[in-house]
Structure 1
Amino acid sequence: MKLRLHFVVDPMGWLCISMVFGIWLYNTFFVPKLVLFPHYNEGHIPWAIVVCYYIASGLCLAALFRASTADPGRLPVDPHIPHAEREHWELCNKCNLMRPKRSHHCSRCGHCVRRMDHHCPWINNCVGEDNHWLFLQLCFYAQVLSLFTLVLDFCQYYYFQPLTGLDQEKFTTRHELALLRISALMGVVMFGGMTSLFYTQMTGILSDMTTIEKMAHFSNEIYGAKKSWQWALAEVCGTRWKLLWLIPLRSRQPLNASHQFRSHV
């Protein structure tokens, strides 16, 4: 597997993605230190909960890294246009380069992106044909991690048994309530925002409409017949194997639309 890195030089984007990474780092450090490890050491929770939290955290970070560094589908300066597809290409009036239809020019990145959905400052990258599936994964795993964090913060005060082996002089022990309140606040904000974004992205994928096309009031009738939800997601993720839809550390290959979708487990 060969993963090519793609970076966008944008100070504002670097600030936004640093904030997202900071929220992830805060919860990944304080939630295990204040909740998971103390209750595991005293036998209140099984090891599986600790492992599941770190798996969710790791997948969220992997999806963030891949979505922010993957090439969204940037068009080369001198693209090779097959003779049979020339009627489906057009000239960009901003960079004066040929591009396939449904491509758009990103003013922040300064180039055209195939089937561009939008430019997301929170990943400092465009969301296009080649990394849309990674952005969808990021929204999903951010929801899972945020909900997991909220449940643990709630259980710390209303469900778990009181801890007996705490050192009252430690900073985390003396400021536990404030630290967990901050964690819960970030969890609510992230869960609400990611749920709304995930729903928006899913409806766009299933209707075969990008965010830019929705804003421009394009009709999806010009792009062909309506696709099944399985084929629509398989086309975005680059594989018909459903289990691979959730794995960020892999490469994506375009599917041949002439093949019918077959369900895989």
Structure 2
Amino acid sequence: MGLPIHFVADPQGWCCVGVIFLIWLYNTVFIPKLILFPRFEEGHVTAAEIWAYYITSLFCVVSLLRASTADPGKLQDSPKIPLTEKEFWELCNKCNMMRPKRSHHCSRCGHCVRRMDHHCPWINNCVGEDNHWLFLQLCFYTQLLSGYTLILDFCHYYYFLPMKAINWDLFVFRHELALLRISTFMGIVMFGGMCSLFYTQVVGILTPHAMVVFRNHCLLLRSG
């Protein structure tokens, strides 16, 4: 069962999502056209490597769309609070609604989000309880696609044999170096940024769990 569709009316967020989509589109169009297909014709790469690039690219854009449009955990109006959980709820001083603890109010979205991590302008959505795993998927697939792109850019100039047959009348091949330099720059920025973000997200998830395990272990030692 899918998550409810959720849109945020934020022009700045739409611009950020548009930038990410254009970077994805740029590499999805030019990397196969400049590297994969010509190298495949000369026997330097296999069809499996082409399919792997397109599949990774598809997973990347699908995860972007899902993370951008999934409900992050928006609190409904007049939520029903079980009697046994009233002590774990508090009043939001911005929207004057009761919310569970560890929820936060997002000024861009205009409502409270359960276990809100942050508002990410690059997906134009909050990262909360219900879509955190989708955000991690996006980070992971973006790392894969960016890393794959950087490897292909490197191999094209420093590992593969020189091209034998190139149609130099085509615009893209006359500007191959400039186009691939742009691709390399975007790949480095995206790969570095996603690695840092993915690392901080995973550490943030694992640290509370590790503290709970450590505390339980200390209690067991004391009781023993």
TM-score, normalising length: structure 2: 0.92
Structure 1's 226 and 99: CA in aligned 2 closer, same or farther, altered over 3 A? farther
Q: Please list, as runs of the form range in 1=range in 2, the aligned pairs for 1:1-265 lying within 5 A after superposition.
A: 1-208=1-208, 225-226=212-213
Task: List 4+ stretches of structure 1 deviating above 3 A.
Answer: none
Shift of 1:74: 0.1
> Per-residue CA shift, 1:185-228, capped at 9, x if unaligned?
0000001100110011011011139xxxxxxxxxx97xxx249x
Shift of 1:82: 1.2
Q: Structure 2: 5+ residue runs without aligned partners?
A: 215-224
Amino acid at match of 2:97: L
Note if contact 1:150-1:184 (Cα within 8 Å) is conserved in structure 2: yes
Note if contact 2:140-2:198 (Cα within 8 Å) is conserved in structure 1: yes
What SS does structure 1 have at the residue aligned with 2:90? strand
What SS does structure 2 have at the residue aligned with 1:79? coil
Amino acid at match of 2:206: L
What SS does structure 2 have at the residue aligned with 1:156? helix
Note if contact 1:89-1:101 (Cα within 8 Å) is conserved in structure 2: yes
| Separation in structure 1 between the aligned mates of residue 201 and residue 70 of structure 2, nearest angstrom | 18
| Separation in structure 2 between the aligned mates of residue 47 and residue 162 of structure 1, nearest angstrom | 19
| Separation in structure 2 between the aligned mates of residue 165 and residue 129 of structure 1, nearest angstrom | 53
Shift of 1:33: 0.4
What SS does structure 2 have at the residue aligned with 1:99? strand
| Separation in structure 1 between the aligned mates of residue 197 and residue 49 of structure 2, nearest angstrom | 27
Amino acid at match of 1:127: V
| Separation in structure 2 between the aligned mates of residue 120 and residue 41 of structure 1, nearest angstrom | 41
Task: State the superposition RMSD in angstroms.
Answer: 1.5
Q: Structure 1: 5+ residue runs without aligned partners?
A: 210-219, 228-265
Pick the structure with greater CA Rg: 2
| Separation in structure 2 between the aligned mates of residue 100 and residue 126 of structure 1, nearest angstrom | 17
Shift of 1:40: 0.8
Structure 1's 9 and 226: CA in aligned 2 closer, same or farther, altered over 3 A? farther
What SS does structure 2 have at the residue aligned with 1:45? coil
Identify the range of structure 1 (59-68 vs 176-185) with the bigger mean alpha-carbon deviation.
59-68
Aligned partner of 2:220 in structure 1 is: none
| Separation in structure 2 between the aligned mates of residue 167 and residue 144 of structure 1, nearest angstrom | 30
TM-score, normalising length: structure 1: 0.78
> Per-residue CA shift, 1:13-48, capped at 9, x if unaligned?
000110011111100100000000111122211111
Shift of 1:151: 0.4
Note if contact 2:69-2:125 (Cα within 8 Å) is conserved in structure 1: yes
State the percentage of identical aligned residues: 66
Shift of 1:163: 2.0
More helix, by proportion:
2
Identify the range of structure 1 (34-43 vs 161-170) with the bigger mean alpha-carbon deviation.
161-170
Shift of 1:3: 4.2
- How many positions carry a matched residue from both structures? 214
Note if contact 2:5-2:71 (Cα within 8 Å) is conserved in structure 1: yes
